[in-house]
A and B are shown apart, each in its own frame.
Chain A
Amino acid sequence: MYIRDTIAAIATPLGSGGVGIIRVSGPEATQIAEKVFTGSGTKNGGGFESHRLFYGHLINPLDGTLIDEGMAVLMRAPRSYTREDVLELHCHGGYYLVQAVLQACISAGARLAEAGEFTRRAFLNGRIDLAQAESIMDLIASRTERSLGLAQSQLEGHLSRSLAALKAPLVEALALVEAHIDFPEDEVDPAVFAVVETRVASVSSDVGRLLATYATGKVLRDGVSVLLLGLPNAGKSSLLNALSGTDRAIVSELPGTTRDLIEETVSFKGLPVKIIDAAGIRAHHADCVEQEGVRRALDKVSEADLVLLLVDGTVPLAEELIELTVSLGSNPYLVVVTKSDLPRCADISRLSAPLGVSEISAKNRFGIDQLVTLIYDHFVQSDVLSAGEGAVISNVRHRDILARVQQSLQSFDNNLQLDLPPELLALDIRAALDALGEITGETTTDDLLDLIFSSFCVGK
């Protein structure tokens, strides 16, 4: 009935909550657990004992790097929600971390679950009483509605338009190949494969571009990152605390012991913002260790979507800060004058501030809300988010699907070069269309025949 592969999804709401749970269900749950989790309790003896919570490390199975510390519990079939082997991974909450753990599960062999798929499995496996069918279906339906609602949002609208635009040339390419196969005696253009190749190549490059937006468009995937930069005692920590105040959810905290960086992810009006507190910069410091820290902080600048350059308003403007604005170059930065509750000493006008100057006092929360709005507006108006006519891939599922599309199209290209027969080439295009269909809806044989008969004069 259903393909018994292993599915994974984030079980907790995104962007809030101190703990995030990733749930995995299916026959490979145990293997995935072994790949993404190492815990002292699971090493010696028989691995995962069912229904027992283990403490350990969540790791990226591709390179073995540490993602987070966390806990894992394996619930073996049939004593689980879906009656399949179910793995739950608990990590620190927050957009970035939870996504990273989900990605780790996918790298380890899971497939991203469809909306309501855990419930569907529970239900197919008879885990849920028949009498509950109706309420279950309501649940599934409401989830679908939610995803439909999402699809109607502006960004998703862009995306589906872009994907629909990818589909048309593929259907055309397939129709050409199919017409070539089914009507060998009709006068179908003999140069058909040149056209097909062009169509596929154009789609392939479009898919490549879209996939690239996933890599670069961190805004939508991880939220955005904001780097706090300033001299020691400029008030970075106070600002960090103020920004992550009680009205905004603190979703993660990574003590920056190894990187001299502290990161916190907060949600500004639903936009996940990762705030990175870099080490205080003192460019002319003789201490080698601290210089290393400065270098790292400056490295971080290019990775950050926005830099907040903190200026202590109570002391005269340091020449180092002017040098710093020069080294920031084209990286966007906002000048934030701190400690505005105290008398001003610094001459801010000497600083170049293309994005403007903001005055705050972390102590009495003066200017904090304005700063938040400033940051939010900066991103919402920036090219990355509104993205003009170009769509941006924002979620793992879409990336997943497009990667499969890309793979099929590459396979088509290889097979075409190998001169394989058209019915095998058709398989590759069909596979790409089927993958795309998971977002845009299925391409039926009738769609194909429609195009064949409207494009070619075939048949007798």
Chain B
Amino acid sequence: MHSYETKYDVIVVGAGHAGCEAALAAARMGCLTLLLNMSLDGMAVMSCNPSIGGLAKGHLVREIDALGGEMAKNIDATGIQFRVLNTRKGPAVRAGRAQADKQLYRLRMKRVLEQQDNLHVKQGEVTALYLEGDQLRGVDTRSGIRFLGKTVVLTTGTFMRGLIHIGLINYSGGRAGDLPSLGLSDQLRSLGFEVGRLKTGTPARLDGRTIDFGRLEAQYSDDPPVPFSFSTERITMPQVPCYIAYTNPRTHEIIRSGLDRSPLYAGVIEGIGPRYCPSIEDKVVRFPEKERHQTFIEPEGLDTVEYYPSGMSTSLPIDIQIAFYRSMAGLEQVEIMRPAYGIEYDYVNPVQLHATLETKLIANLFHAGQINGTSGYEEAAGQGILAGINAALKVQGRQPIMLGRHESYIGVMVDDLVTLGTKEPYRMFTSRAEYRLLLREDNADIRLREIGHAVGLVDEATYAGFCQKRVQIKEELERVQSTRLTLSAAEKSWCERHGCADLQKGASYEQLLRRPEIGYQQLREIDPQVTELPGAVREQVEIQVKYQGYIERQLEQIERMRKQEEARIPSDLDYKAIPGLTSEVREKLERFRPDTLGQAARIQGVTPAAIAIIAVILKGRGDQQGES
């Protein structure tokens, strides 16, 4: 093994959506960083759907941006259709979703990585971690080069022992057209990691020249398209439509006829697939009463004829695939360019992680993305940036960051993973966030910019702009609280026009804004000052005023939980020496080794009584430390 002369601060293994964010974060924070990928043509590849965002996922993208990550900027620069979902619902559950030009997305991210200071991008398949005793020293590659590094971030995606299934045919591969990564997961298992198997799948790619789009319903971009990044002024890419098609009873009949050759139903696949992303055969089997299933036919890019039929993933054999796609109206003549396939891969049980994403078994080793049992580009990127930040902080001898459930979806995701683990590929939903009303796309910067700036990822100019916005929001909130209706003739007629003739003289603008029928749109008619404010400031003030009661209720809940969340449990706490814990609880705590009392409380089977005992133990320790 040849030891490479450069000694890195951070080595990131894998350049998918997690790895790219991890590498950029570490390098931007001033660490000498190496990003290794099996193929340098395969960086930031969107292996499945050609879109970024959606409910809860769009929230993650915004959070990554607020922390100083790249994903939002990348999709803003390469997105070819932008839509805001749930516009008729409240602000907390609105989310952006964009179609990407896959090649442009990949290439732009590659360019950003290549031009990043402190970052070396190299091709290489990591076959093992290089350890001296239990000290992590770097990684070994298949081509015989050993890279030394203080910290390592593993983002292996679906590559570790990847096994591709098309019908009953299967072969090793990390992704269709790519080799698998072999050796690494065996080593992880031997080091004590619980390595499991998950399954996911992707639909076929269809030739757009053989689709009769005239028979499909088109769905267009919002106008104007709303960007993801707080830094993007506007979207400049040309915008193209998606199309909606449907299956029919004949499609379902064809699918059923191929079930005996489905690896899933024949029991060939051992990994557990995601319930929220069922294959089309799953949908047909589980919902036999449904006469049709909807699919969005999404463009894969501006310069390609490939289309992605969402919701139509399958691991059925190729003859069945051809027949069922062609049974759909508008797709009668369709040519499949890439067959659909299922893939099984190794992951590591995320309960073996700290909330910093550092592993509990090996110091300085971080895991992010699908290796932790998650699914989705955004989930991966969210973990990637957190792992990158914490690897860099570790190198710099600074305190790691942990994101709370009350401040980010990233925090909810990581907490769920480390306290509950996951049995299926984990995807983010807004229903997972108990403080959903606070975790909005619109306020991701208010929630996380400060942290991004503190760790050194958000540059000064961006931060100054943010601070100004924050001041403007505060001042505007004060202004609407103190400005009152005089009920002049003009105001009186305005009130009557907007159905609030019942308002008394002296009512504040805040009271006006609280009414469902009144927004700044209406207020500006009697309040000329409004127009001078940036839209983002008005949006924040309006939301904060309208949802004040609910927001305050959630803030109170957070406050009540704060002590428990903040109580750190030392990693050397000896649960065996604590009297009064039941053996079941003790076993759970030893296995999970929670970082905080809050985490401990969320582990299933750990009782409130046990939490009380640990609280007292911690208090006792704290007192002793205070005295010494």
Could you tell me which A residues sit within 8 Å of B by CB distance? 1-3, 116, 120, 123-124, 126, 130, 133-134, 136-138, 140-141, 144, 178, 181-187, 418-424, 426-427, 445-446, 448-449, 453-454, 457-460
Contact = CB atoms under 8 A, between A and B. Distances in A.
B579 A460 contact: no
Counting contact residues on chain B (CB < 8 A from A), the size range is 35 or more
Interface in B33-60: 49, 55-56
A124 B612 contact: yes
Contacts of B310: 460
Given A141-B609, A460-B313, 19 more contacts: A1-B597, A2-B612, A120-B608, A126-B616, A130-B616, A133-B580, A181-B55, A181-B430, A182-B56, A182-B430, A186-B294, A420-B90, A424-B90, A424-B437, A427-B437, A453-B275, A457-B286, A460-B49, A460-B295
A32 B274 CA distance: 53
A183 B85 CA distance: 9
Contacts of B580: 133-134, 136-138
Contact of A187 (B294, B550, B567): B294
Given A133-B616, A137-B580, A1 B93 contact: no
A423 B436 contact: yes
Nearest to A448: B431
5 contacts: A124-B612, A126-B619, A140-B609, A185-B296, A445-B431
B89 A423 contact: yes
A361 to B, nearest CB: 54
B254 interface: no
Interface string B96-128: 000000000000000000000000000000000
B86 interface: yes
B429 A449 contact: yes
A424 B553 CA distance: 12
Contact of B276 (A123, A419, A458): A458
Nearest to B287: A457
Contact of B296 (A130, A421, A459, A460): A460
Contacts of A448: 431
Interface string B262-277: 0000000000001111
Between B92, B278, B431, B613, the greatest number of chain A beta carbons within 10 A of the residue's beta carbon is seen for: B431
Contacts of B295: 460
B498 interface: no
Contacts of A454: 286
B359 interface: no
Contact of A130 (B56, B277, B311, B620): B620
B363 interface: no
B615 interface: yes
A423 B93 contact: yes
B189 interface: no
A124 to B, nearest CB: 6
Contact of B93 (A144, A418, A421): A421
Nearest to A453: B275
Contacts of A457: 278, 283, 286-287, 290, 293
B617 interface: yes
B432 interface: yes
Nearest to B283: A457
Contacts of A458: 276
Given A1-B563, A130-B620, A457-B283, A137 B86 contact: no
Nearest to B203: A460
Most buried by B among A3, A133, A136, A458: A133
Contacts of B544: none
A2 B562 CA distance: 10
B428 to A, nearest CB: 9
B431 A123 contact: no
B431 A130 contact: no
Contacts of A419: 516
Contacts of B579: 133-134, 137
A404 to B, nearest CB: 14
Contact of B55 (A184, A187, A418, A421): A184
10 tightest Cβ-Cβ pairs between the two chains A and B? A460-B311, A137-B580, A421-B90, A134-B579, A459-B276, A453-B275, A460-B310, A178-B431, A457-B287, A421-B89
A363 B563 CA distance: 66
B470 to A, nearest CB: 25
Nearest to B292: A187
B275 A449 contact: yes
A454 B560 CA distance: 35
A187 B617 CA distance: 52
Contacts of A422: 89-90, 93
A1 B615 contact: yes
A358 to B, nearest CB: 50
B616 A3 contact: no
